[in-house]
Structure 1
Amino acid sequence: MNRLAGSGIIPNLNLNGRTSMTKRKPLSTVVAESLAEKIRSGELQPGAQLPTEAELCAEYDVSRTVVREAVARLRSEGMVVPQQGRGMFVSETPSPRNFSIPDEALRTLPETIALLELRLSVEVESAGLCAERRTDKEASNIRSMMEQIDAQQADPAAVQIHYDYDFHLAIAKAARNEFIHGFLAYLGPMIVPRFQLGYVVQPALKDSYYARIHSEHKAIVDAIERQDGGKARQAMRKHLQNSLGRVRALARASGVEATDAKQKAARSLFKDMKTPASPGA
C-alpha cells in the first residue's frame, strides 16, 4: 500500500533523480482560489450570487465542508458578502487597487462599524414603534420622503454612504420616543459624513444598488403603513444588516482590523455625558 495516499503529500522526481516531497494545497484553498480568480476576471460579476453549496460541491467534486471553508475564506477577504435569506454574493465593494480611501477614514472604520451595530439595535425597535404609533399624516410624509430620497440616485462618488439618514430620523420621530429620536440625531454627525458611497459601490452597479435600497426602504414603509410592527422591525433589521455588511466588507478589503477601536468609540461617544448624581447628593 502506498503510504503517501491520502496524506496530502505527493512525490516529485527532480532532475538529480532524487525524490522530493511537495505538499498539496488543501482542497478548500484550491476552491477559494478558483472562485477568487473568477471574481477577478469578471466571470463572477460584482453583485452576482455565488452558486449554491450543492452546485459548488458538484462543480469541484468536494464536500460541503470544503465549500464552506472556501467561501468563509473569500468572505474574510471581503470578496463575497452574505445577504440574509438569499445566500452569498460577490461584493460590490471595489477592490482596494481600484480606489483610494484617505488614511484618516480608514482609521475610523472599526469605530464606524461599532456605531452602526449600536444604531441597528436602536433602529429596529424604532421602526416597530413607528408602525404601531404613527399617524396617517406621518406615514404619508415618510413615504414621500422615501420617494424623494430614492429618486435622486446620485453619483456614488458625490454622496455619503448614509445619504438616507433623514428618512431614518423621520421614522424615529414617529416612534413617539424622544430618547430614540434624540439619540439617533446625536449619532448622525458621527456616522453620516465619514464615507462616500463610492467606497462600497462601483459606478457600474449604481442602478442595481439604488434599486435594491429602494426595495428595502419600501418594505419598511409598507409595514409602517399597515401598522405591522413585527414586519417593520424585520424589514429595518434586514436593511441595516445589509448596510453594516457592506462597511464590514470594506474593512476586510482594506485590511483594517477591528482591534480595541470599538471600546475607544464608546468612550468617545459618552465622554461628554454627565454621570447621574447619586441619591441624596
Structure 2
Amino acid sequence: MPKPLHLLISEKLRDRIQEKIYQPGEQLPSESQLIQEFNVSRTTIRQAIANLINQGLVLSYQGKGVFVTEQRKVTYSLSSSAAMFLAQDMANQGLELTVKNLTLELVTPPPTVQNILQLPTASPKAYLQKNFLLLMV
C-alpha cells in the first residue's frame, strides 16, 4: 500500500531540513508555493506541515509562516555512565526525558545471551524489559 501524499511530502521537506537546504530560523516556502511544487491540495500541504510540527522540525506562526527550528543532536552512551543518570544528563542539556515501561516478561533468552548473563543451564530464564523513551527538546 503506497504512503499517503502528506507523508511523502513531509518526508521530502524533512530531508531538506536535515540536509540544511532549509536552515534553522529560515521560513519554509508558503502554502501556495508548496501546493504548486507538489501539485496537491491545501489540505495535503497542511497535513504535511502538521507532521513536521509534531516532529519538532518546524514552528508555525499565524500570519507569519512556518519556520525551521534549531536542530540539536543529543548523544548518549549508556556504557559511559549508569543508565539511572540518563534523565539527569538529558536535563543538564536542557532536554526532558520520559521513560515508560511497555513490557516486563520472563523469557528464555537465546544461548548467546544466556552465556553473557551466565544463566544456569537448568533454568535459563531472564526478564525482558521493553521501554519507550520520549525526548522533549
Q: How much has 1:83 moved relative to structure 2?
A: 3.3
| Equivalent position of 2:87 in the other structure | 103
Look up the match of 2:135: 256
Query: Number of residues paired by the alignment?
Result: 90
By percentage of residues, which structure has more helix?
1
- Please report how far the alpha carbon of residue 33 of structure 1 lies from its aligned counterpart in structure 2 after TM superposition: 0.7
Does 2:74 align with 1:90?
Answer: no
Corresponding residue for 2:53?
75
- Which residue type is aligned with residue 50 of structure 2? A
Unaligned segments of structure 2, at least 5 residues: 77-85, 96-132
**Equivalent of 1:48 in 2, 6, 26:** 26
Distance across 1 between alignment mates of 2:20 and 2:28: 13
TM-aligned CA deviation for residue 41 of structure 1: 1.0
> What TM-score does the superposition give when structure 2 sets the normalisation length?
0.56
Say if 1:195 and 1:82 are closer, same or farther in 2 by CA, change over 3 A.
farther
Q: What is the aligned partner in structure 1 of residue 7 from structure 2?
A: 29
Structure of larger gyration radius: 1
Answer 1 or 2: higher relative contact order, Cα 8 Å, separation at least 6.
1
**Within 5 A, what are the aligned runs for 1:1-281?**
23-94=1-72, 98-100=73-75, 103-104=87-88, 106=90, 255-256=134-135
How far apart are the structure 2 equivalents of 1:195 and 1:92? 14
Between the aligned partners of 2:54 and 2:70, the Cα distance in structure 1 is 15
TM-score when normalising by structure 1: 0.29
Identity %: 34
Structure 2 counterpart of 1:104, one-letter code = Q
More strand by percentage: 2
Distance in 1 (CA, whole Å) between partners of 2:71 and 2:16 is 16
Task: Give 2:87's aligned amino acid.
Answer: D
